[in-house]
Amino acid sequence: MECRSGTRLLFSLMETDETLPLSYLSQYGYCPRRAGLLMLDRAWAESADTMMGAAEHERVHTQRKERRGNLIQFYEFPVFSVELGLSGFCDCVEATASGNGAKLPEISGKWALYPVEYKHGVMRTEREYELQLCGQAMCLEEKYKVEILEGSLFYIDSHRRQPVALDTKLREETRYTARMLAEMMQSGKVPDPTLSARCKKCSLKEICHPEWSRSAADYCKNLRKQLLEEETLCEN
């Protein structure tokens, strides 16, 4: 999940550029209400997970360029997309020389681009991380007029990379999620809570009160049942 300082930085981008924070693709993918609470109510609560994630991301979140042979790694690389209406940063963009690649500022030649998003914890599959990575790749494609077919999620604890194919389905989901974020921002309405297994690990559960959704739903169900029973009694 996004660290507090990252959130603040991206909000300032949002306010000046009228784009939404790219990292909220991941928040929306995790839970639309979570994205709404962060984006509209500017809620934040630390959990062991968010603190660990922020600490682990600290090294990555220093803007710099590192060269290793034919590979150049750009850390904390700023990106935006007019099509998606999003802006933010790629944790790392790897560039390798390629005849039909992108021209990059301050370095000569043409370069194939490969985004890498760092995530706290051990290797696992989380669709919301793939949405965020795909959003980053689409931003790079729009700006540098290149095609990016793959990126990677790097899991810090297991020190392993998981390649992600940036296929049509993932791109459509990314566009859809960006649209949902924009609509939510325009409406100013935070979605209602939906109690799910994800709530257990969500740092906002104390603010969100997802259990209320269950009790409200139960209340309506009981009320409906009661009314039906009364109607049946009257008819008899």
Residues of this chain that interact with ligand SF4 (CB under 6 A) are 31, 33-34, 37, 193-194, 198-199, 202, 204-205, 208, 210
Here the tokens at position 208 are 């969100």
Cα–Cα dist 110/43, whole Å: 42
Q: What is the smallest separation between the CB atom of 46 and ligand SF4, expressed in angstroms?
A: 14
Residue 205 structure tokens: 């559960």
CB of 192 vs ligand SF4, minimal distance in Å: 8
Consecutive H or E run containing 161: strand 160-165
Of 33, 28, 31, 124, nearest to 84 by C-alpha is 28
61 vs 198, beta carbon nearer ligand SF4: 198
Token pair 């077919």: residue: 149
Say how far apart CA 201 and CA 192 lie, in whole Å. Answer: 18
Q: Which residues pair with 74 in a beta bridge?
A: 65, 93
Q: How far is the CB of 203 from ligand SF4 (least distance, A)?
A: 8
Select 53 or 193, whichever has its Cβ closest to ligand SF4.
Answer: 193
Between residues 17 and 206, which has the closer beta carbon with respect to ligand SF4?
Answer: 206
Residue written as token pair 């660990």: 52
Minimal distance, residue 9 CB to ligand SF4, in Å: 22
Q: Which DSSP symbol is given to 209?
A: -
Output the smallest distance, CB 95 to ligand SF4, in A.
36
Choice between 31 and 116, CB closer to ligand SF4 = 31
Q: Determine the Cα–Cα distance for residues 175 and 166; give it in Å rounded to an integer.
A: 13
CB of 198 to ligand SF4, least distance (A): 5
| Residue closer to ligand SF4 (CB basis): 33 or 120 | 33
Tokens encoding 26:
């991941």
Find the angle CA(184)-CA(185)-CA(190) to the nearest 5 degrees.
50
Nearer to ligand SF4, 87 or 203 (CB): 203
